[in-house]
Amino acid sequence: MEIQTTDLDTSWLEDSNWFHSIDYGNDLISRGRFSKKVPPNYTIYGVYELLKDIDLRDMTCMDIGTMDGIVALTLKNLGAKHVIATDMAKCETFVKGCELLNYEIEYKTPVRMDEIPELLGPQKLDLVVNAGILYHVLDPVETLRICRGILKKNGLLILETQYLFDERRPIMSFNPYDNGRRGNPNANTFWRAGKKTIEGMLELNAFKILSTVSVNGRFTVVAQACDPAQVDSKYPKMKNVHETYLRDEHYRERVDYDGLTKEKTSSDIKYLGERTDRFIFRSLYKSNMPFQPVWRTGKANKIKTFFNDLKFWISTKIARI
Ligand SMILES: C[S@@+](CC[C@H](N)C(=O)[O-])C[C@H]1O[C@@H](n2cnc3c(N)ncnc32)[C@H](O)[C@@H]1O
């Protein structure tokens, strides 16, 4: 899309704090949170990689925790009929970006994960993107239960999160107590899960894992909302949970397998990509997504980042043997 910049005040691009680096066209590019040493928005490369194989035309989508809104803008650009973006706090950069592009996106703030079902009421979605949130919430299983509850049957969740990339066990680390090398210094980080734990939490909530993408310490999954009986888990205990958990009235978490089994509204959305566990080298990745800027940096940074990526790749490979 061509933007007429002559009469536009774009000083907000310079003056604002940015989370995402967004290429709005006509050399209007926001800074983003990373220095030039790191590829812009690399944490969502997995989201890009999975989105490119989903036809969004006629679909109703939600981007939870949108920040400056690069994912919400991308969903709109890829043809989604209706996009809802939520956040804990309003970002003027989101509002200004939509104005600049003349994009109509339903923007709701402040909205916490647990407030989303009430926000939507009976409306159900075709696609939910939940990126960069799972480690910030006190209860990651509940967050995924909410994502499942707001999707139509067969709808898709793209979940992106930090994870324990070198962990093969089905565990989760409680970050405020984790003084080891895995600990993250941020006060807003509670849990960091391994790959198996993330996949298990999704299956527990009646999601079928379709494909995954790893980018260094980040993990993205596309999962399909399904009937609990169709999860098709490799783990017999998971099947047992789906079949028997609700039969004992002394043990009843909020998950409602019977309700999910009876769901009527179904989505036509499809993930048409490969069913694989991919690893992306962020130093080499080239995205053709509409608002992703090219990584302009020196050769030394590119080489350094490549070797850093290689280290992650080796650790990830070893953990998955
Ligand atoms: C790390 S940023 C991720 C931004 C963007 N989704 C991305 O991946 O680039 C985390 C976002 O999650 C939102 N957030 C944090 N805790 C949340 C919660 N409990 N419920 C909903 N959103 C939350 C924040 O306001 C912020 O927008």
Q: Is 215 in the pocket of ligand 1 (CB under 6 A)?
A: no
Q: Is 69 in the pocket of ligand 1 (CB under 6 A)?
A: no
Evaluate whether residue 79 is within a structural domain: yes
Pairing label, strands 207-215, 218-225: antiparallel
Best of 111, 136, 141, 191 for a ligand 1 pocket test (most atoms within 8 Å of beta carbon): 136
Evaluate whether residue 226 is within a structural domain: yes
Q: Is 44 in the pocket of ligand 1 (CB under 6 A)?
A: yes
- Alpha-carbon distance of 149 to 263, in angstroms, equals 10
Evaluate whether residue 311 is within a structural domain: yes
Pairing label, strands 125-131, 60-64: parallel
- Contact call for residues 87 and 113 (beta carbons, < 8 A): no
Evaluate whether residue 235 is within a structural domain: yes
Evaluate whether residue 2 is within a structural domain: no
Q: Is 46 in the pocket of ligand 1 (CB under 6 A)?
A: no
- At 257-280, the pLDDT tens digits run 999 999 988 999 999 999 999 999
Mean pLDDT along residues 165-172:
96
Comparing 127-141, 142-156, 250-264, which segment has the lowest mean pLDDT? 250-264
CATH number of the domain encompassing residue 152: 3.40.50.150
Evaluate whether residue 5 is within a structural domain: no
Evaluate whether residue 1 is within a structural domain: no
Total count of domains within the chain: 1
231: domain range?
Answer: 11-319
Output the average pLDDT for the chain.
95
Atom of ligand 1 nearest to the CA of 20: 9
* 181: confidence class by pLDDT, cuts 50, 70, 90: confident
Mean pLDDT along residues 135-154:
98
Evaluate whether residue 6 is within a structural domain: no
- At 97-107, the pLDDT tens digits run 999 999 999 99
Entry field: residues in the chain: 321
Residue type (1 letter), 260: L
- Contact call for residues 166 and 321 (beta carbons, < 8 A): no
Q: Which helix (H) or strand (E) holds 128?
A: strand 125-131
- Contact call for residues 52 and 289 (beta carbons, < 8 A): yes
